[in-house]
Amino acid sequence: MDLFQIPLFVPVPSREVMFNLSIISVIIGICLIIVGLILNNKNKKKINFKKF
């Protein structure tokens, strides 16, 4: 029994589309974290070389 029924005029993607979107968003999130860590490490190395 659904407490909140979605009206018919609201476009709702199928289960497969939602699954694909969630996997794609997880992959993009992991890639952004990796790029952020790489850029953060490069900035730390540059700062350390400027001190010496």
pTM above 0.85, yes or no: no
**Helix, strand, coil distribution of the chain in percent, nearest 5:** 70, 0, 30
Reading the block at residue 37, the tokens are 């860590």
Amino acid 9: pLDDT: 79
At 21, which amino acid appears? L
- Give the model's pLDDT for residue 46: 61
Check residue 1 and give its pLDDT. Answer: 55
Q: Which parts of the chain sit beneath pLDDT 50?
A: none
Give the pLDDT confidence score for residue 47 in this predicted structure: 58
Which pLDDT value is given to residue 31?
A: 97
